[in-house]
Structure 1
Amino acid sequence: MLIGLQNVTFEFGARVIVEDATWHIQPGERIGLVGYNGTGKSTILKVLVGEYTPSKGSVEKGKDTTIGYLHQDLLSFDTNDNITEVALGAFERVRQLEKDIEQLGSELEKDPENEDLLIRYTDSLHELDVLDGYNIHHKAEEVLHGLGFSNEDLARPYKEFSGGWRMRVLLAKMILQQPDVLLMDEPTNHLDLPSIEWLEKYLLHYKGSVVIVSHDKFFLNRMVNKIVEVYQQELHIYSGDYNYYEQEKALRIEMQQKAFENQQDYIRQQERFIERFKAKASKAAQAQSIQKRLDKLDKVEDVQLERPDLRINFQLEKVPGKVLVALKDVSKQFGNIRILSHTDAEIERGDKIALIGANGKGKSTALRIVGGTESFEGERVWGHNVEESFYAQHQLEALTLTNTILEELQQCGSKKTDVELRSLLGAFLFGGEDVEKKIRVLSGGEKARVALAKTIVSKANFLILDEPTNHLDMHSVELLAEALNKYAGSYILVSHDRYFISKTANKIWEIVDNKIKEFKGTYQEWVEWNERMAKQAAANPAPAAAEPVKAAPVVKETKPQQTNIDREAQKELQRQQRKLATLETDINKAKTEKQRIEDSMGNPEIYADKQKFVTLENDYKKIQEQLNALNKEYETVFEKVMELEG
């Protein structure tokens, strides 16, 4: 065990977060810590690292266990150092050794015969080598690049970056420290899709244990092998990913409900017997015995799934024309940074568009251009009867802090009565006296819900949504996705939550080479299409440059292929594709065997036995030849498949 809770109870005043909770984090575990908003996930992380002390029980930690803790409060850190220097702060011992070596080197120049200095100098060099100290700059740059920083960014001062980018630098530093346990509170909130995918790959090979609080279901499904749920002041542990947890939780609830109902039937039956026979002398003793047995019965609790439900219903007043907004010859740049260049795009009635891509590509800028709140060159044509509503992160800051929640909605111009507004706020989990709370005392999640309520109260037929799922728990994200699926209007949204995008979008927009590229299909179809394109590009790097003349005949042949020739070609294509799949399997087997032989050749005992060594060397030559032949055949078959697909 690296760290854990033993019979821990933790309370905030009268509110119990967990009671008598036990949880041990073992080496190599990747754990998702989940629960509804307000159940205390972040609090439990703070208990683990010692920021909070439990009321009862103990936090147990291995003597040499190192912990890294990524959380929002880290953003108070500030410095003039460049971001590479901040990330290199992970290598404290290496940096100290570098200073020591420089100092000892200077002293040795003055006193080259000093044996004590020479020994210390040699020992420091050896320790630096053991710690792989010569590669720390390369490691830091690799991690920073993975998290989305360019070469130019590496020399920029930390204080020049916004909060989200600062959090990435601190995440890079924490990853480079390689603690035994990495605790991460909403790490994907400040990352774009490419950076999330890079972080997934990095953490999957991370040697330490990882605990993640996240509302990104895709991220958890790819990352974790255990789920710990904070539910009804208890920790419930599930061995599997997030999908397994959802299925298993539903099964547990169903089994407990059946056990409860069966026990209630039994209790009612026994109570009827007692009631009927307690006054009858011959049966009184038996009735008393049954009553004692019932008193000692270990009661099964009634199970009701407790969860806060957003009840979101969109209402539309007007039906817009076919085209809601058209961008014509649009260009936009900030200084020397060009975002869009002479691009065109249209949003039609019924479109549900996800605008995706790396940070810095201009997604939010494009969204503001669509919404008419950003200046640009070119033309934006607004459609007939379009009533838009724009939800963006900056709207959280635009809320009037001195207003109550109810007052904030009263000032939206929705013409709804207070009773209707209270009902709407109830759907957003603000019940009873909550609506009288001032905006300034609300958490980030509560402010996000108020801003979403303001967007929805508008009766708009076109929604523009910038990161609407930030600060929402997973259940609320699902409910928002369901509501958007039922929504009769159109929308365009920016989100880094792949689960949310996959549930809501029927078109994908991506900014590529300063143009808006449209993909007509779902997020999953877009991912699969990209993977196919990447495989083709990897297998056939530059066919266009090598054989430009082949393009013309292919175009000419496309028309008459709806015949028997086409069917024969299709059959041949399928045959070659099957052959390709078989070859891929054979190549993987050959690679595994080659790796096994290489591992054996690294064993010194092999070289003590000449016969074993000769056999192994022959096996290695054979497998290498086999692998070469398979790769050659694979290339030939792949080219045939490409021809047939073309």
Structure 2
Amino acid sequence: MMRIIVKELENTEGTVETGHNVALGYYAQNQEDLLDKNDTVYDTLDKIAVGDIRTKLRDILGAFLFRGEDIDKKVAVLSGGERARLAMAKLILNPYNLLALDEPTNHMDIRSKDVLKQALANYDGTLIVVSHDRDFLDGLVDKIYEFRDGKVKEYLGGVMDFLDSKKMENLSELERKNEAIIAEKIKESAQEKEKQTDKTQNKHLSYTEQKEIERQQRKIKTQIDNCEKRIETLEKEVAELEEIMSDPSKVTNYQEMILKYNKLKSDLDQQFAEWERLNTL
């Protein structure tokens, strides 16, 4: 939906209309990668600043934790979190009255998230935010849209009200529940397809060929079972790490934790992809 709103993707049904006076700014998941690596931090904002705002660039950068010699650093040497902060500062500097933000806290440490949240809380325009970060959304949004089973449902209130209505503690729990439902539907569809195929093939196969097919099917089933066990283990590790990251007092090395978290998410995505592949065999 976000990509349709910002005209990156064409809608297949219905219409998408932007209000007459709406000036839309978009923060994509890879927004920090779109910065010019040869520019300095200061140059990044100076290139787009116009009017009196040019005299306040150092203050704006300071609000996003770029102070002193930091503003002379090349974008190329910044960490992922620093580039994300700079990309957001650049976005807010533009005269947009609607910001569409797609997972804006990716790669950000806790301090950066707090800075971003404060900046957005003071923003006068409208925000559309796609995020699984409960703490970031808490107090920032006043309406939730849930996309599920091909439908969109609106919830008035903040993210905590939404989670209370779902009897859940975090958004990742909801995401895992939805993934489990989708996975079960895929599995049922694959099993039905397999039954139909077997009925057709078995009429023409020899005893030896049927036995070989059954052996291959048992092997695939074992691989699927092992894959599901790995997915369950990874989901638990991700949930535990998210719980730790939500409490700054428990974090000793946030950068190391972010790397571990991204690795777990990547492994989980790979396992889901492998699970889907096996279920199509």
TM-score, normalised relative to structure 1: 0.29
1:306 CA drift (Å): 6.0
Conserved? CA contact 1:146–1:195, under 8 Å? no
Q: Deviations over 1:336-394 (max 9, x none)?
A: xxxxxxxxxxxxxxxxxxxxxxxxxxxxxxxxxxxxxxxxxxxxxxxxxxxxxxxxxxx
Matched, 1:148 2:62: no
Matched, 1:51 2:16: no
Q: Distance in 2 between matches of 1:309 and 1:181?
A: 34
Conserved? CA contact 2:80–2:108, under 8 Å? no
Name 1:179's counterpart in structure 2.
96
1:442-453 paired onto structure 2 within 5 Å: 453=234
Q: Distance in 1 between matches of 2:5 and 2:146?
A: 15
Name 2:54's counterpart in structure 1.
136
Aligned amino acid, residue 82 of structure 1: T
Q: Distance in 2 between matches of 1:481 and 1:82?
A: 35
Conserved? CA contact 2:244–2:251, under 8 Å? no
Q: Deviations over 1:244-287 (max 9, x none)?
A: 1123346xxxxxxxxxxxxxxxxxxxxxxxxxxxxxxxxxxxxx
Counterpart secondary structure, 2:16: strand
Conserved? CA contact 1:229–1:235, under 8 Å? yes
Matched, 1:501 2:241: no
Q: Distance in 2 between matches of 1:192 and 1:502?
A: 11
1:308 CA drift (Å): 2.3
Name 2:27's counterpart in structure 1.
70
1:220 CA drift (Å): 1.1
1:341-352 paired onto structure 2 within 5 Å: none
1:517-532 paired onto structure 2 within 5 Å: none
1:64 CA drift (Å): 2.3
Aligned amino acid, residue 245 of structure 2: I
Q: Distance in 1 between matches of 2:55 and 2:244?
A: 37
Conserved? CA contact 2:35–2:75, under 8 Å? no
Select which of 148, 152, 158 maps to 1:235.
152
Select which of 126, 134, 140 maps to 1:217.
134
Q: Distance in 2 between matches of 1:502 and 1:188?
A: 13
1:207 CA drift (Å): 0.1
Q: Deviations over 1:500-545 (max 9, x none)?
A: 5358x9x73547xxxxxxxxxxxxxxxxxxxxxxxxxxxxxxxxxx
1:177 CA drift (Å): 1.2
Aligned amino acid, residue 85 of structure 1: D
**More strand as a share of residues:** 1
Relative to structure 1, is the Cα distance of residues 420 and 224 closer, same or farther in structure 2, using a 3 angstrom cutoff?
same
Aligned amino acid, residue 179 of structure 2: P
- Matched positions, count: 208
Q: Distance in 1 between matches of 2:161 and 2:95?
A: 29
Aligned amino acid, residue 50 of structure 1: K
Q: Distance in 1 between matches of 2:93 and 2:22?
A: 16
Q: Distance in 2 between matches of 1:176 and 1:90?
A: 8
1:51 CA drift (Å): 1.1
Relative to structure 1, is the Cα distance of residues 153 and 421 closer, same or farther in structure 2, using a 3 angstrom cutoff?
farther
TM-score, normalised relative to structure 2: 0.63
Name 2:43's counterpart in structure 1.
85
Counterpart secondary structure, 1:56: coil
Q: Distance in 2 between matches of 1:72 and 1:201?
A: 20
Aligned amino acid, residue 209 of structure 1: T
Q: Distance in 2 between matches of 1:210 and 1:191?
A: 19
Select which of 282, 294, 308 maps to 2:179.
308
Relative to structure 1, is the Cα distance of residues 56 and 422 closer, same or farther in structure 2, using a 3 angstrom cutoff?
closer
Name 2:83's counterpart in structure 1.
166
Aligned amino acid, residue 66 of structure 1: A
Conserved? CA contact 1:226–1:240, under 8 Å? yes
Q: Distance in 2 between matches of 1:245 and 1:48?
A: 23
Conserved? CA contact 1:214–1:220, under 8 Å? yes
| Structure 2 residue runs without a partner (length 5+) | 168-175, 182-218, 254-281
Q: Distance in 2 between matches of 1:146 and 1:500?
A: 27
Relative to structure 1, is the Cα distance of residues 147 and 419 closer, same or farther in structure 2, using a 3 angstrom cutoff?
farther
Aligned amino acid, residue 307 of structure 1: N
**More helix as a share of residues:** 2
Q: What's the Cα RMSD here?
A: 3.3
**Mean alpha-carbon deviation: is it higher for 82-91 or for 186-195?**
82-91
Relative to structure 1, is the Cα distance of residues 308 and 156 closer, same or farther in structure 2, using a 3 angstrom cutoff?
same
Matched, 1:423 2:167: no
Conserved? CA contact 1:481–1:500, under 8 Å? no
Counterpart secondary structure, 1:190: coil
Q: Distance in 1 between matches of 2:224 and 2:41?
A: 47
Conserved? CA contact 2:81–2:112, under 8 Å? no
Conserved? CA contact 1:88–1:137, under 8 Å? no
Conserved? CA contact 1:200–1:222, under 8 Å? no
Q: Distance in 1 between matches of 2:8 and 2:246?
A: 38
1:65 CA drift (Å): 0.8
1:214 CA drift (Å): 1.3
Q: Distance in 2 between matches of 1:186 and 1:143?
A: 22
Select which of 164, 189, 193 maps to 2:106.
189
Matched, 1:205 2:76: no
Q: Distance in 2 between matches of 1:203 and 1:248?
A: 26
Larger Rg: 1
